[in-house]
Structure 1
């Protein structure tokens, strides 16, 4: 996580579902031959947060496809940035992380994003509604091209909504620990069948536009904005996740 960055005090009145736009993402690489120990230790650490009434959601994913295959990702979504100024027993949190799972894995990276609701067709992670897998695309942009890129993404949203495409598209803008500028697209996927008729990445959606002139203009603008793209598939790990109970 590290779960040092917990979003509230122990006396918080309610879980922080969809109360803000912050997305904190953390990554670990289990040490060779220690996947089982890492998983068991991480689950024990989640129990620490459960007993301390953590109001944040913590999702766990394993990257199954892509250059970082095998990496474990965890993240919290949908809370305000200000929530991270109020941590639950941070010193004890760090000690518990060291005791339970840190000996079996290596920290890989941490990054902070802001969900862009104006660009997205939905926000399932902020609503605490994870899907079986998520298709993830990270777009590193050329300097000075963020505004132009956002206009292309808005066209993507309109295209997806007009065609009734499956798979919710959620966009995140990099805030810290990312390339600058950088955007991340997370496409909710319930199964492999959804790939049959629902393109997820920006370029393929643009390529599906019927009007040939518009299609060429959009793809040319896309090429002028984007420096590089990486694509991955993350498998949701419910046993490695913590979703707070609903408030009565």
Structure 2
């Protein structure tokens, strides 16, 4: 799932105006991929994905890739991986995309289907604490589809939320390419399975959100890679 789609970067650079691009500091972008193991092939997917991570290790990939499984929510049983903290130009520098794709086709795609693949930008003014996600045992993931035309109001609202003392560690991301452009995700670290139920509720003004969902993901150290 790590093959590089160069068109993603080219299209993204076209979306961002020169002014907005000048305001981006390095390290704000992420790639997220969601896969759904094929029925009855979860074990084969896990083994194949681990073989694919060995390819990244053997090819000295400098990027960190983290992996999670969905344990609560609409996508329970699916898998998400991602690489974070990049400048947008980094996505033109992936390790041997053709060979990566070939290994992926050998070890991963026979056992899972792609659900989504997108590039996201971390909204620094709305985020607090260190870059998320991290290697916490669990991650709370809230996904918001904002009513078209209300994106600026939504971003102002979540920026105001970040100033509240109770919101000490969270990362907001905005989808830049790979799906509905009015989509935002909120990531928060959780230490226990039940801990997600004690997180502070995100209170947003009415009339901004078209759809919202909350999910809990379990971090998978054996399905993650750090150089």
Q: TM-score range by the shorter chain?
A: 0.7 to 0.9
1:98 to 1:195, Cα distance in 2 relative to 1, 3 A: closer
Describe the superposition over 1:166-196 as per-residue Cα deviations: whole angstroms up to 9, x where unpaired: 6x21100110123221211011111246446
Length-normalised TM-score, structure 1: 0.78
1:231 to 1:225, Cα distance in 2 relative to 1, 3 A: same
CA distance in 2, matches of 1:38, 1:196: 30
Q: Match of 1:190? A: 191
Secondary structure of 2:145's aligned partner: strand
Q: Any runs of at least 4 consecutive aligned residues in structure 1 with deviations exceeding 3 A, and if so which?
A: 123-126, 192-198
CA distance in 1, matches of 2:196, 2:86: 30
Structure 1, unpaired ranges of 5+: 8-17, 204-218
Query: Paired residues, what number?
Result: 209
CA distance in 1, matches of 2:202, 2:76: 22
**Partner of residue 39 from structure 1, selected from 46, 53, 58:** 46
Q: Match of 1:112? A: 119
Q: Match of 2:21? A: none
Given the alignment of the two structures, is residue 25 of structure 1 paired with residue 24 of structure 2, yes or no? no
Q: Match of 2:210? A: 227
Q: Match of 1:124? A: 131
CA distance in 1, matches of 2:194, 2:98: 45
**Partner of residue 153 from structure 2, selected from 130, 148, 151:** 148
Structure 2, unpaired ranges of 5+: 7-24
How much does 1:73 deviate? 0.6
Q: Match of 2:22? A: none
Q: Match of 2:202? A: 202
Q: Match of 1:157? A: 162
How much does 1:19 deviate? 5.0
CA distance in 2, matches of 1:228, 1:6: 28
CA distance in 1, matches of 2:5, 2:149: 34
Secondary structure of 1:107's aligned partner: strand
Q: Considering only aligned residues, what root-mean-square deviation do their CA atoms show, in Å? A: 2.1
